[in-house]
Amino acid sequence: MSLASPKQVCVALDVLTGIANLHLGSGKTAAYLVPILSKLMGKAKKLAAFRPNPLTFREGIDEVTAEPLVLIVVPTRELAVQIFNEARKLCYRTMLRPGVVYGGVPVKEQTLLLQKGCDVLIGTPGRLVDFIQRPKVLTLRRLRYMVIDEADELLNDDWSEELNPILSGGGKYNNIHTQTIRN
């Protein structure tokens, strides 16, 4: 694999900056989610962790640890729900299962959702850190793609306490390498 040249990085940043400045409903989510899902489509069965059938799921018996392949970090629950709904449409009739976690709802409900397994996880930093600290519920060891939506907001120092454990892959339970490119 070859490294991107400085010119390629600048072009990519210009394109991403242009996409990021588009208005609501313009397809920004699809702009990053479609290529990621496309890359995973043929490999989903091989890469994904075992997941129980949601129709026959038995609480307390069929529970698994959520091991997403894609993690999308967003600053607000409204954006998390919006992206989750888009991911559900894009994952329909594929081997990929989306999930969402955010504050303001009981942890128990979201724990049950994660224990059914998910391949694409959308979440807010605080709730993601909460679950990452519970390695029997969520681990990032199978993670292939991480997206920070609204990165201009989340990469501010205000979010560093919540974002650092996520970017480090949850500590000793995970092995993720991340890189941030800034102008």
Q: Mean pLDDT across the stretch 101-124?
A: 94
* DSSP for the chain, written as a single string: -PPPPHHHHHHHHHHHHHHHTSPTTSSHHHHHHHHHHHHHHTTHHHHSPP---TTS--TTTS---B--SEEEE-SSHHHHHHHHHHHHHHHTTSS--EEEE-TTS-HHHHHHHHTT--SEEEE-HHHHHHHHT-TTTB--TT--EEEETTHHHHTSGGGHHHHHHHHTTSGGG----------
pTM, entire model = 0.76
Assigned CATH for 26-173: 3.40.50.300
- Mean pLDDT along residues 54-74: 84
pLDDT at position 93, please?
84
What are the structural domain ranges in the chain?
A: 26-173
pLDDT band at 45 (very low <50, low <70, confident <90, very high): low
